[in-house]
Chain A
């Protein structure tokens, strides 16, 4: 992968690529979802994947995140092929180096908000006391103070998404994957969530790859790519090396 630094004359300072998809093909039964999609994302970058409904953007995200394995093609992460790893290894990767924010939060209803945020650390074997302490830090940062003891059914949509965001960031992931993170929120709440997501990601140096069909959400990104008919076409502000 290309790795370079540009001058401060106006060229955007970029770091090495952290994740890359090469000619990904994925079908569901007889229905092709991706037909040779290729994509790169750099460290610290916020990348928006856009496209019409059924274009394959969520499938591309899931392949990048190791949730789905492509039928052909390669996924590279930090110099390692992701698509050839086993399910257990990919699970550990999701736990330790990736974070997720999906449209419906996907919180565990039996756990409190604090326990949901601490879940990746608990799954990793971190002692409960330490995990909850770490989680508490994120409650302050994401305006969730006082909600630690509530369960998912007692949270509003925006609160639940922020708890999901905290859970996605608590393990200090290298890449945060967000699939329609504001899809179920009103515009005001959605903007609040996106502002927090972007600010936190930049502060932590986390790469964010988010799927959205809303232009106003994509506007938070450094770069947009378009997925159509299972292929990636790049927008005018594409800075990927040839």
Chain B
């Protein structure tokens, strides 16, 4: 029987081949998306592991934490490596700077280089080498003492475009560097396990973030893909069922029919899986080059393990066979035909319970409060989101039926009446057509609402400020005592084209503290009011003073702590400008005209002049590496993928529906019904549940976002901006256009030749 089923599938003539091809293409697309999602997750984990050596920590470590990746050597033998890792920036790009000095011949060697660079030498990643050659020396290369010794191998780089430099120094030089520490072995510490000053730079997304993404992907992307694959295997189901009836008449048992149906679906799915794998490997280099997480992947990192492959190779055809079996349960194929089709029971109101349960689960955590760790957070909120997504799929048919009955009651034209009755008769089918888009819209609403709210919370009403201000903390915790800044240095700094003014932040011998409301008090520094007045965006002095208290870490002047920096009034202290000028400087603030050249030249000059200090940064660079930015990029990819899959499901299901009804539609046309009315029926059948479900999905998404923000982040929902409404409108319009695009098929499929007896 299996052989017979395979023969029937593969040698059934032109029509069977067309059907097989369409199904296989659809399954191939779904398989490709599945494989890409799985490989993408593996790539993120691989990227995190590649970066892990950069998070090496000071002091002796347990054996199991030690690692000797390629190029790594050395054990704890009294010859530690002096190590200082800092993020650096160039024209908005994050760079990693690792200053090292070996204390002996057996000091640990970082991966990717054959041996440690000595004083006056450095290794750079290929992308960094390219940048050093392209950028003006005064903007970049002058920061790095010495000459290029070699390239860092790809095995040590998180991404192909990683900008990383390993600079060699003498031991005595490194002892003078604040923030440098000794490491006894290169450790592999993934980002989510890294705490402390050694976790200076981060590429990719931490593992806890990945758990959240995995569950989001699993539900928000895989479910629509599975729906799409299921819909694809149902292509021409009605035609197949008629064939099964003929076979039943000839004496085929129900079990034989089930076997043949399963084999047909499995064969089409198996071919589709094969093509899907081919698509995956063909497009993998292109997909890997896309910076989903802020950085592209190495192609080899987008890998699949044996379990992944087995799950897809076996799982997709098996799922197709199961879907075919389940679908046969819904119809009664007798020797007389598929005439006594089992009428589906109308959906009941209980179907909204899972949706409400998902809301309730998220709402509970408003009372319970934020979870202690990220892992707990994921465990807490994931069931709620999963229930919401599943709840939407379960409630969808009931909502469709309610809408259809309302429409039927108000229908004035035969087209709308037919459409409404058909929807009310089989709302499950009506909802299945647009289920993928509904889920995509829910995911879109949640993601954009959350990101909009987070961004709004972190930025003042006027927007992000200080993009044109470079701050260099040259002393303080981790950077040494406050020091004098020589006048020639200030003069040369001021002479850089584009530098507008310089403000010096001095240590405070008075021990003044600044209050930051609910965040408590912090030790203050001092600034001359005259200098502060030239940078109004940082606030102003209270009237009557010459010197004011000011936060020492200007670049960590968190925007969320105060709203509207230009309105901030700093309290003055009883001190003269001459007195404060003699006190050591902690931070140099350089206001520029915002041009990248001015910013980079000022930065390079400051690094060169104060090598023991930190890396000068601007305000936006402080937020550059934030997880929100990375998740935002990944989220948009997820959204567009979901919308694309939803659109594909819509197209496949509409074509299925047209194919199943071509004979009755053809007969209607023969009796004089205009094609336009039939087109109206098709359009209404899909657009009515689409609009209705869109409203519910968007509402559920907003509520879910509100509950999440409130319970886990502690701030309010900010309504999405114009982008959201544009995307939704564009998505709905594209869906309607997709349906309209299938209408020409209706003319061809309902021609008079279709109505003839076979």
Within 8 A of A (CB), among B226-260: 243, 245-256
Residue numbers in B under 8 Å from A110 (CB-CB): 8, 11-13, 15-16, 243
A156 CB to closest chain B CB, in angstroms? 12
Residue of A nearest to B239 (CB): A109
C-alpha gap A96/B253 in the complex (Å): 12
B19 CB to closest chain A CB, in angstroms? 10
Verify if A53 is at the interface (C-beta below 8 Å from B).
Answer: no
Of the candidate stretches A42-50, A85-93, A186-194, A211-219, the one touching chain B is A85-93
Q: Are B243 and A109 in contact (CB under 8 A)?
A: yes
Residue numbers in A under 8 Å from B255 (CB-CB): 88
Verify if A106 is at the interface (C-beta below 8 Å from B).
Answer: yes
Which of A94, A106, A119, A153 has the largest count of B CB atoms less than 10 A from its CB? Answer: A106
Residue numbers in A under 8 Å from B4 (CB-CB): 122-123
Q: Are B243 and A91 in contact (CB under 8 A)?
A: no
Residue numbers in A under 8 Å from B246 (CB-CB): 106-108
Residue numbers in B under 8 Å from A70 (CB-CB): none
Residue numbers in B under 8 Å from A138 (CB-CB): none
Q: Are B336 and A123 in contact (CB under 8 A)?
A: no
Q: Count of A residues near B, CB < 8 Å?
A: 32
C-alpha gap A96/B250 in the complex (Å): 9
What bracket does the count of chain B residues touching chain A fall in? 20 to 34
Verify if B758 is at the interface (C-beta below 8 Å from A).
Answer: yes
Q: Are B254 and A94 in contact (CB under 8 A)?
A: no
Residue numbers in B under 8 Å from A62 (CB-CB): 336
- Of the candidates B11, B245, B251, B254, the one whose C-beta lies within 8 Å of that of A106 is B245
C-alpha gap A151/B14 in the complex (Å): 11
- Of the candidates A91, A104, A120, the one whose C-beta lies within 8 Å of that of B253 is A91
C-alpha gap A108/B240 in the complex (Å): 10
C-alpha gap A221/B758 in the complex (Å): 28
C-alpha gap A94/B16 in the complex (Å): 27
Q: Are A109 and B253 in contact (CB under 8 A)?
A: no
B619 CB to closest chain A CB, in angstroms? 68
Residue numbers in A under 8 Å from B254 (CB-CB): 87-88, 91
**Main secondary structure on B side of the interface with A:** helix
B663 CB to closest chain A CB, in angstroms? 13
Verify if B334 is at the interface (C-beta below 8 Å from A).
Answer: yes
Q: Are A152 and B250 in contact (CB under 8 A)?
A: no
B338 CB to closest chain A CB, in angstroms? 12
Q: Are B8 and A119 in contact (CB under 8 A)?
A: no
Residue numbers in B under 8 Å from A119 (CB-CB): 247, 250
Residue numbers in B under 8 Å from A102 (CB-CB): 249
Verify if A184 is at the interface (C-beta below 8 Å from B).
Answer: yes
Residue numbers in A under 8 Å from B13 (CB-CB): 109-110, 151
Verify if B594 is at the interface (C-beta below 8 Å from A).
Answer: no
Verify if B584 is at the interface (C-beta below 8 Å from A).
Answer: no
C-alpha gap A122/B3 in the complex (Å): 11
Q: Are B757 and A94 in contact (CB under 8 A)?
A: no
Q: Are A95 and B252 in contact (CB under 8 A)?
A: yes
C-alpha gap A67/B251 in the complex (Å): 10
A170 CB to closest chain B CB, in angstroms? 10
Residue numbers in B under 8 Å from A153 (CB-CB): 758
A57 CB to closest chain B CB, in angstroms? 14
Residue numbers in A under 8 Å from B243 (CB-CB): 108-110
Residue numbers in A under 8 Å from B480 (CB-CB): none
Q: Are A108 and B247 in contact (CB under 8 A)?
A: yes
Q: Are A120 and B251 in contact (CB under 8 A)?
A: yes
Residue of B nearest to A106 (CB): B246
Q: Are B251 and A94 in contact (CB under 8 A)?
A: yes
Verify if A100 is at the interface (C-beta below 8 Å from B).
Answer: yes
Within 8 A of B (CB), among A44-93: 62, 65, 67, 87-88, 91-93
Residue numbers in A under 8 Å from B253 (CB-CB): 87-88, 91-92
- Of the candidates A88, A95, A184, the one whose C-beta lies within 8 Å of that of B250 is A95
Residue numbers in B under 8 Å from A122 (CB-CB): 4
Within 8 A of B (CB), among A178-236: 184
C-alpha gap A93/B252 in the complex (Å): 10
Verify if B335 is at the interface (C-beta below 8 Å from A).
Answer: yes
C-alpha gap A152/B247 in the complex (Å): 14
Within 8 A of A (CB), among B1-42: 4, 8, 11-13, 15-16
C-alpha gap A105/B758 in the complex (Å): 9
Within 8 A of A (CB), among B423-470: none
Q: Are A94 and B334 in contact (CB under 8 A)?
A: no
Q: Are A123 and B251 in contact (CB under 8 A)?
A: yes
Q: Are B250 and A109 in contact (CB under 8 A)?
A: no
The digit string for A114-126, where 1 denotes a CB below 8 A from any CB of B, is 0000011011100
C-alpha gap A104/B11 in the complex (Å): 23
- Of the candidates B8, B12, B250, B256, the one whose C-beta lies within 8 Å of that of A94 is B250
Q: Are A67 and B334 in contact (CB under 8 A)?
A: yes
Which of B251, B252, B255, B256 has the largest count of A CB atoms less than 10 A from its CB? Answer: B251
Residue numbers in A under 8 Å from B252 (CB-CB): 91, 95, 123
Residue of B nearest to A170 (CB): B250
Residue of B nearest to A107 (CB): B246
Q: Are A106 and B249 in contact (CB under 8 A)?
A: yes
C-alpha gap A109/B252 in the complex (Å): 16
Residue numbers in B under 8 Å from A100 (CB-CB): 249-250, 335
Residue of A nearest to B337 (CB): A106
Known contacts being A109-B243, A123-B256, A151-B13, is A94 close to B336, with CB within 8 Å? no
Q: Are A94 and B335 in contact (CB under 8 A)?
A: yes
Q: Are A111 and B8 in contact (CB under 8 A)?
A: yes
Residue of B nearest to A88 (CB): B253
Known contacts being A67-B335, A110-B13, A122-B4, is A104 close to B250, with CB within 8 Å? no
B688 CB to closest chain A CB, in angstroms? 31
C-alpha gap A38/B758 in the complex (Å): 34
B205 CB to closest chain A CB, in angstroms? 50
Residue numbers in B under 8 Å from A98 (CB-CB): 251
C-alpha gap A93/B255 in the complex (Å): 15
A29 CB to closest chain B CB, in angstroms? 11
Within 8 A of A (CB), among B462-490: none
The digit string for B743-758, where 1 denotes a CB below 8 A from any CB of A, is 0000000000000011
A224 CB to closest chain B CB, in angstroms? 24
Residue of A nearest to B17 (CB): A110
Q: Are A104 and B757 in contact (CB under 8 A)?
A: yes
Within 8 A of B (CB), among A123-156: 123-124, 151-153
B11 CB to closest chain A CB, in angstroms? 8
Residue numbers in B under 8 Å from A94 (CB-CB): 249-251, 335
Residue of B nearest to A110 (CB): B12
Residue of B nearest to A87 (CB): B254
Verify if A167 is at the interface (C-beta below 8 Å from B).
Answer: yes
Which of A96, A108, A151, A184 has the largest count of B CB atoms less than 10 A from its CB? Answer: A108
C-alpha gap A91/B249 in the complex (Å): 8
Residue of B nearest to A65 (CB): B335
C-alpha gap A190/B425 in the complex (Å): 41
Nearest first, the 6 A-B pairs at minimum CB distance are A95-B251, A110-B12, A94-B251, A91-B253, A106-B246, A67-B335
Q: A91-B251, A95-B251, A153-B758 are in contact. List 17 more A-B contacts (CB 8 A).
A: A62-B336, A67-B249, A91-B252, A91-B256, A95-B250, A96-B251, A98-B251, A100-B250, A106-B246, A109-B13, A110-B13, A110-B16, A110-B243, A111-B8, A123-B4, A123-B250, A124-B251
Q: List 26 A-B contacts (CB under 8 A).
A: A62-B336, A67-B249, A87-B254, A88-B253, A88-B255, A91-B248, A92-B251, A94-B250, A96-B251, A100-B249, A102-B249, A104-B757, A104-B758, A105-B758, A107-B246, A108-B8, A109-B15, A110-B8, A110-B12, A110-B13, A111-B8, A120-B250, A123-B250, A123-B252, A151-B13, A167-B250
